[in-house]
Structure 1
Amino acid sequence: MSGAGPATAVSALDEAALLGWMDAHVPGFRGPLRAEKFPGGQSNPTFRITSPSGGYVLRRKPPGQLLKSAHAVDREFRVISALAQTDVPVPRALALCADDTVLGTMFYVMQEVRGRVFWDPAMPDSNPAERAAVYDAMNAALAALHSVNVEAVGLQDFGRPGDYFARQVSRWSDQYRASETQRVPAMDQLIAWLGSNRPPDDGRVSLVHGDYRIDNMIFSADAPKLLAIIDWELSTLGHPFSDLAYQCMQWRLPHEGDFRGLAGVDRIALGLPTEEAYVAAYCARMGIDAIPTWTFCLAFSFFRLAAILQGVLKRALDGNGSNPERGLKMGKAVPLLAQMACDLVEAKG
């Protein structure tokens, strides 16, 4: 992880309290320590911890009143602990603190993974060969994640059984309404369309990341090797196509302003795969022919991202966001995302 900045008042850590806790709970830790907040992490504030014994990363719940089931850092800790025994690259989980009296909210500590984070999916500082290799590595890791035997790694109860998309549309509709700050007609239209056009449950269930995109990954500093997938807050047992569609949404988002999409980018010249090629590579790895519900999966992805950003906006307005200024800017994207989804389903008839 890279790009740590100075801690801000809204999320600064009590370093003395953290030092005592890490002395008692993190094997091999030696103080003193210094905590610096990463500038990202709109949902769960994230800190780099430096000490004589090495580098660590701390993820905590934000302060203030939170939406039900949100900011589940304990679930993050559990899933990366379980995945350590698989081929899915994750940081090494070290210790979880469920005692709110230590730092004010629940948190966990993991080993720091040093490498590159590609904040822009167009990878402007890379060459075509490296871009192609990075995207293929992401595709392979996604297929590996969706192939994990959840019972073998102890995650068979990591999500509720039943129709994933039905549960998710209901959950995120509720979350959106709970954080709604103004009426967005396109969002109302999209929620109604998703409820009326949900495909029958096909029985596919896998571990899903929930926020699978290039800037939630750390690559080797000198090779297109994926070292770690991070930010597992939204992970659960669900439908594997939701992860694929969520990542492929970036092919359709604008490549301007606060958006880090690939729309309008000359992907062939850059060595980036088309959305069709990326989906085909995933299908080949998973041993399936195609994804017949692709339009619904994409529309759902736009909807869920819009609902997430609405929550970010609400936290920023309430004064307990991790990065309030950026949160206010991100929240303005909600109407655009909803309208893009409505345009997508209208174009598909």
Structure 2
Amino acid sequence: MSAVPGDVAALAPLLEERLPALGRGVTIAPFGGGQSNPTFLALGSGGEAVLRVQPAGKRLKGAHAVDREFRVMAALHGSRVPVPEMLLSGGEDEWLDRRFIVMQRVEGVVFWDPALPDKTPAERGRVYDAMVTVLADLHDVDIASVGLSDYGRPGNYFARQFATWQRQYRASETGENRDMEQLIAWLDRHLPEDDGTVSLVHGDYRIDNLIFDPEVLAIRAVLDWELSTLGHPFADLAYQCMQWRLPNDGVFKGLGGVDREALGIPDEAAYLAAYCRRRGLARIEGWTFHLAFSFFRLAAILQGIYRRYLDGNAANAETALRYGQTVPVLTALAMAEVERGG
């Protein structure tokens, strides 16, 4: 386990002062595996909390937005979308030269393998039902009533996101990737018109960003909101289904090659139908585009992490290197999806 950077460890007196519920003798230790924003456990005589910090060194513009994480989770606390309670936000001051947030630690289990090998078929069905239910609840949040009307820019969400992640990819590019170039060109030709649909989107909704109750398998908390914004709900939906196409033995454990029916995991059609039923939708239009866009966006994110590895700023160098090696796999899968979809 990596050591705590000295400037992060030096936050302990501040946390002790500002968060009296932690008690005395606060210490900070590594916690979790966050690649984008390093995560730590703050532990005192009276309790514990989770600390997330922007990475040291050069950061791409708009990336590592822990302040946005704080805002959106504070807004959602008490809603049908379960999130930790936000406790403190700070940084870029005399305490630390980059931003940090502190939140409640939510107890429960995180499932790292979407195939859920230790569960029964009935239990797997409950996990996936919980995931689609919370995703639908998220997309039904009244953004005005929770104070998030200005949480994203107006206009075509996919056009904005395509421009953003293309720019981020170019800023962290390390060599030629022909599939990525073909994918960028295809997405550019197939960008959908703005249909006016706007909801709060998580941006990284997948099973290992959720904390589950170990007994009833309900979701206790949705984590890692750094990429959240106002946008099109189908982006979240396709992102989750995109990951199910990834190999189960890769850096990201997916459901590619897994017999979902035998395991009691819904196939894509059933999952989409459940989502549509919960939101009162007739169908999902433009599914090939949404999937291809999800592959592109994830590849751009991982390329940025790989760039930080090369620059010596990765939170976990070994994992960051493996992420970089995954980028061509993602772009190849994307182009295969494009070809299947016509």
Which of residues 290, 315, 320 is equivalent to 1:322?
A: 315
Which of residues 190, 212, 221 is equivalent to 2:183?
A: 190
* Aligned residue number for residue 3 of structure 2: 8
Match status 1:172 vs 2:140: no
Secondary structure of the corresponding residue to residue 80 of structure 1:
helix
On the 8 A contact 1:19/1:31 being kept in 2, the answer is no
* Aligned residue number for residue 3 of structure 1: none
* Aligned residue number for residue 26 of structure 2: 33
* 1:82-101 correspondence to structure 2 within 5 Å: 82-101=75-94
* Aligned residue number for residue 139 of structure 1: 132
* Aligned residue number for residue 251 of structure 2: 258
* Aligned residue number for residue 337 of structure 2: 344
AA matched with 2:92: D
* 1:156-167 correspondence to structure 2 within 5 Å: 156-167=149-160
Shift in Å, 1:34: 2.4
Which of residues 60, 68, 73 is equivalent to 1:75?
A: 68
Match status 1:61 vs 2:39: no
* Aligned residue number for residue 298 of structure 2: 305
* 1:166-315 correspondence to structure 2 within 5 Å: 166-315=159-308
Distance (whole Å) between structure 2 residues aligned to residue 147 and residue 339 of structure 1: 33
Check 1:254–1:101 CA distance in 2 against 1; reply closer, same or farther (3 A cut): same
On the 8 A contact 2:8/2:96 being kept in 1, the answer is yes
AA matched with 2:99: M
On the 8 A contact 1:61/1:71 being kept in 2, the answer is yes
Q: Percent identity?
A: 56
* Aligned residue number for residue 102 of structure 2: 109
Check 1:200–1:153 CA distance in 2 against 1; reply closer, same or farther (3 A cut): same
AA matched with 1:136: D
Check 1:314–1:100 CA distance in 2 against 1; reply closer, same or farther (3 A cut): farther
Distance (whole Å) between structure 1 residues aligned to residue 122 and residue 7 of structure 2: 42
Check 1:65–1:288 CA distance in 2 against 1; reply closer, same or farther (3 A cut): same
Shift in Å, 1:317: 0.7
Which deviations, in whole Å up to 9, do the C-alpha atoms of 1:181-222 show, x marking residues without a partner? 111011011011101001111110000000000000000122
Distance (whole Å) between structure 1 residues aligned to residue 122 and residue 128 of structure 2: 10
* Aligned residue number for residue 112 of structure 2: 119
Distance (whole Å) between structure 2 residues aligned to residue 99 and residue 159 of structure 1: 23
On the 8 A contact 1:187/1:303 being kept in 2, the answer is yes
Distance (whole Å) between structure 2 residues aligned to residue 26 and residue 161 of structure 1: 37
Which deviates more from structure 2 when the two are superposed, residues 252-261 or residues 280-289?
Answer: 252-261
Shift in Å, 1:223: 2.1
Distance (whole Å) between structure 1 residues aligned to residue 8 and residue 270 of structure 2: 48
| Count of aligned pairs | 342
AA matched with 2:149: Q
Check 1:93–1:39 CA distance in 2 against 1; reply closer, same or farther (3 A cut): closer
Secondary structure of the corresponding residue to residue 101 of structure 1:
coil
Which deviations, in whole Å up to 9, do the C-alpha atoms of 1:111-159 show, x marking residues without a partner? 1011100001111111111111011001000011001111111110000
Structure 1: runs of 5 or more not aligned:
1-5
Distance (whole Å) between structure 2 residues aligned to residue 269 and residue 28 of structure 1: 47
Secondary structure of the corresponding residue to residue 118 of structure 1:
coil
Which deviations, in whole Å up to 9, do the C-alpha atoms of 1:287-335 show, x marking residues without a partner? 0111111110000000000000000100011000110111011111111
Which deviates more from structure 2 when the two are superposed, residues 164-173 or residues 221-230?
Answer: 221-230
Secondary structure of the corresponding residue to residue 61 of structure 2:
coil
* Aligned residue number for residue 19 of structure 1: 12
Distance (whole Å) between structure 1 residues aligned to residue 50 and residue 320 of structure 2: 22
AA matched with 2:141: V
Distance (whole Å) between structure 1 residues aligned to residue 70 and residue 157 of structure 2: 22
AA matched with 1:346: E
On the 8 A contact 2:28/2:43 being kept in 1, the answer is yes
Moved >6 Å (runs of 4+)? none
Shift in Å, 1:31: 2.0
Q: What is the root-mean-square deviation of aligned Cα atoms in Å?
A: 1.3
Distance (whole Å) between structure 2 residues aligned to residue 272 and residue 340 of structure 1: 22
